Structure 1
Amino acid sequence: MTNSHAMASRAISRRTLLGALTLPWLVGGCTTPLPLVQAPANDAGAVSRLRDSAEAHGLAAYRQMTDINVSYSGKWRPLVGRIQPEVVDEGYRGSSQERLLPSTAVVAQAYTGAKGNKHVWWRRGGTAPNDAGEVAVWFNGVRSADDAAQQAAALVAEGYGLFLLGPLWLNDRGLRMQSGGTERVDGRVCDVVDVWLSPGLGRVATDRVALCIDRGDGLVHRMRFTLEGFANTQGAVAEVDTFEHERRFGVTWPMRSFERIVHPIALPAHDWRITGLDVNRGYEAKEVSGPAFTGAAAAAATPV
């Protein structure tokens, strides 16, 4: 192939890729790796496998945690910011302080970026049909009425609970599960447990998550999931790999994580790491409700 032909081919490929990214995520949905079929009856083996993994992650200690305080730093890949601007929200989503209250299903996030501060309050919905959860978003102290910003924020907040805690986030929720075979993750042989997540990630009835559980240490090293909670990501599937796990406060935490899109295209998305962590300060949900953290929730997470 001549240089001119090669350059033309690359240009066509780039135009084809960028064109595909403007199409709805549901294009090619029939071949999605995590079809949202009706949840099957529980597989007792899958339930047991996820429970064993939760115990390996520190289930007993986690159940004693009233609050979890985390800080992150990270970097989004530029192309993802172009195709999913509401999710990435690059002007505000730089470093973050995050507060989780497991018993009340609350996640609150305080971001700092080039455009200023963003605060997110999220409470996961319950099993009742009319309980879609609660979400509120503030930009530089002003509450937003933008529905897209709220929906994207709810998806992200619930997702970060899952990414941080894996099976601990799922174990006690009575979810439907099935065994999904085996998969290798960075050379590790992992058992796959498919979970029908209801409610899903954000203000949506259902998502599906596949957890890759290491046969050796019982830890989850990969999570693959649908993204039905936001209109512009419906039909997409992404996955997060976790690394550099450390035991602190009786729980094993993924100190570094990497996210990629796997459907309908393969695309690296986001790298981040934990920069601060502490637990059990003893505050209430109202202290993280926005537009800023107050009281015992206000101090930055203890650096690690």
Structure 2
Amino acid sequence: MMRQSVLATLLAFATLLSGCASFPPTGTNARFDDGLDAAAIFEACMAAHGGDLRAYPGDINLSTDGHWFGLIQKIQPIVSDAGFRVTSEERYRPRDGLYSVHHEGPLGTKQVVRTPNGIAVYYNGKRESDPVKISATAMTNDAFQMFHFGPSFFKARATAMARVADENENGRTYRRVLATVTPGFGESSQDQVVLWIDAQTSRLFRVHMTLNGFESTQGAHVDTTFLDYRNVGPFLLPVRFHERVRGPLRIDAHDWHTLGIDLDRGWTAADITGAAFEGAATQAAERLQ
């Protein structure tokens, strides 16, 4: 009986390892007949999303809810932090790079304050000093800025772009751009991200990324697919997401969706840079209709 259990475990593990997507992707020497280079494809994507968020003078406020899959919680408990990261309220002011997130989960609250000068993390109102937790949080916080605010993240951080082979999925063609992001996510000096851009709409469909900013994720790569979008003010923002680990294992990791979005509350830096939101930042984002 024990031998059968061991064999079943080994077979399951082999299944997880099989078919892992490669990174960097194949097709870096592909030739194209449409006359479009990486820069042209990316600029069309920026335009489709409403332009560069960094030029926006106001604030952007999001509410999200999600679900972590069981295996990722076991493999990466510090990165997923699923005891605290289930729902979130996010406050972002693009013009000066202020980004603060209030998470809630079964173990309580987690507040993350990201400024151009650093990061502060609070669990249940108490500031965290563990460098391992702070490192993991810096990586995931940067990644979620990218997920939620799209091409503007690459406009700010991509130091090189190259077109790689197109992909077809479910009858649609996606042009792919390999971006080198410097600095990378969290404490990484550099990461790479493949942008899948819909050939018809120029919308960002998927990002496939390395995770060099945390010791236990170095060498791993994941992708996140944007399953739905909503027009908000002048911008097109994603509102439904599915994240998968693609290597060295191949598993589902995280589903989440946007519950609410609103703009221009006029909160101050002091309202979002402490252990909890204050003032105009406190109210939940306006529910999507």
Q: Output the CA distance in 2 between the equivalents of 1:281 and 1:234.
A: 39
Q: Output the CA distance in 2 between the equivalents of 1:216 and 1:139.
A: 44
Aligned residue in 2 for 1:10: 8
Aligned residue in 2 for 1:253: 237
Is 2:96 aligned against 1:104?
yes
Q: Output the CA distance in 2 between the equivalents of 1:288 and 1:103.
A: 15
Letter in 2 for 1:231: E
Is 2:244 aligned against 1:268?
no
Q: Output the CA distance in 2 between the equivalents of 1:143 and 1:242.
A: 33
Q: Deviation at 1:150? A: 0.6
Give 3-state SS (helix, strand or coil) of 2:241's partner: strand
Q: Deviations over 1:174-204 (max 9, x none)?
A: 6211111211244320110111001111122
Gaps of 5+ in 1: 21-30, 36-43, 125-132
C-alpha distance 213-16 of structure 1, shift in aligned 2 (>3 A): closer
Give 3-state SS (helix, strand or coil) of 1:204's partner: coil
Q: Output the CA distance in 2 between the equivalents of 1:188 and 1:15.
A: 32
C-alpha distance 5-160 of structure 1, shift in aligned 2 (>3 A): same
Is 2:152 aligned against 1:168?
yes
Query: TM-score, normalised to structure 1's length?
Result: 0.83
Letter in 2 for 1:293: F
Is 2:75 aligned against 1:91?
no
Task: Output aligned runs, 1:222-241, within 5 Å.
Answer: 222-241=206-225
The RMSD of aligned alpha carbons is 2.6
Q: Deviation at 1:138? A: 0.4
Aligned residue in 1 for 2:111: 119
Letter in 1 for 2:10: I
Q: Deviations over 1:207-253 (max 9, x none)?
A: 11110010101101010001111111111100000112121212112
Q: Deviations over 1:6-44 (max 9, x none)?
A: 7664233246689x9xxxxxxxxxx95138xxxxxxxx9
Q: Is the 8 A contact 2:22 2:247 kept in 1?
A: yes
Q: Deviations over 1:245-294 (max 9, x none)?
A: 12121211211100000011111000000001011222233321120111
C-alpha distance 239-297 of structure 1, shift in aligned 2 (>3 A): same
Gaps of 5+ in 2: 26-35
C-alpha distance 60-32 of structure 1, shift in aligned 2 (>3 A): closer
Aligned residue in 2 for 1:285: 269
Give 3-state SS (helix, strand or coil) of 2:265's partner: coil
Aligned residue in 2 for 1:40: none
Aligned residue in 1 for 2:31: none
C-alpha distance 244-174 of structure 1, shift in aligned 2 (>3 A): closer
Q: Is the 8 A contact 2:211 2:218 kept in 1?
A: yes
Give 3-state SS (helix, strand or coil) of 2:143's partner: helix
Q: Output the CA distance in 1 between the equivalents of 2:262 and 2:217.
A: 32
Is 2:70 aligned against 1:78?
yes
Aligned residue in 1 for 2:118: 134
Q: Is the 8 A contact 2:53 2:94 kept in 1?
A: no
Aligned residue in 1 for 2:24: 34
C-alpha distance 284-218 of structure 1, shift in aligned 2 (>3 A): same
Match of 1:209 among 193, 202, 219: 193
Aligned residues: 276
Give 3-state SS (helix, strand or coil) of 2:37's partner: helix
Q: Is the 8 A contact 2:53 2:152 kept in 1?
A: no
Q: Output the CA distance in 2 between the equivalents of 1:4 and 1:85.
A: 28
